[in-house]
């Protein structure tokens, strides 16, 4: 028995002429929140690794040698404690969520305006 002949792949040429700004807003917000969570977690992990490897102690020793003994002890953890680093990373993450969401929606609106002039982006889909 012979196998059935293989059908030729179908091709469809489509034109992306409009992007829904509301769906772009929702997707951009979701992805930017995920990026914000990654930013905060990465800041915590980086601070913990720097603390466990003794980098803060080495920097404190180096700054103490540069400033001299009369400067009183300098501790980098007073300026960059874990709480301060997490707070700063959270502020950066919130600002990134707002900016990325707004810029993504603006890009969708600008694409819609431009696609009315030039027709959009052509996409060819194939069936393998």
pLDDT at 76: 77
* Boundaries of domain holding 56: 23-117
pLDDT at 60: 82
pLDDT at 55: 87
Asked if residue 86 is part of any domain, the answer here is yes
Query: In which element (H, E) is residue 121 found?
Result: strand 121-126
How many domains, the chain? Answer: 1
Asked if residue 48 is part of any domain, the answer here is yes
pLDDT at 72: 61
Asked if residue 82 is part of any domain, the answer here is yes
pLDDT at 101: 96
Residues of the chain with pLDDT under 70: 69-73
Asked if residue 113 is part of any domain, the answer here is yes
- Give start and end residues of each alpha helix (H) in the chain: 21-52, 55-67, 76-79, 82-118
């Amino acid at each position: 028995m012979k196998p059935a002949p293989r059908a030729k792949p179908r091709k469809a040429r489509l034109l992306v002429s409009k992007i829904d700004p509301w769906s772009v807003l929702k997707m951009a917000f979701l992805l930017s929140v995920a990026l914000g969570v990654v930013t905060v977690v990465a800041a915590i992990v980086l601070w913990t690794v720097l603390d466990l490897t003794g980098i803060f102690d080495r920097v404190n020793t180096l700054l103490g040698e540069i400033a001299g003994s009369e400067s009183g002890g300098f501790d980098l953890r007073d300026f960059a404690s874990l709480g301060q680093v997490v707070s700063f990373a959270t502020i950066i993450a919130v600002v990134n969520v707002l900016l990325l969401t707004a810029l993504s929606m603006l890009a969708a609106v600008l694409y819609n305006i431009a696609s009315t002039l030039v027709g959009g982006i052509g996409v060819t889909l194939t069936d393998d």
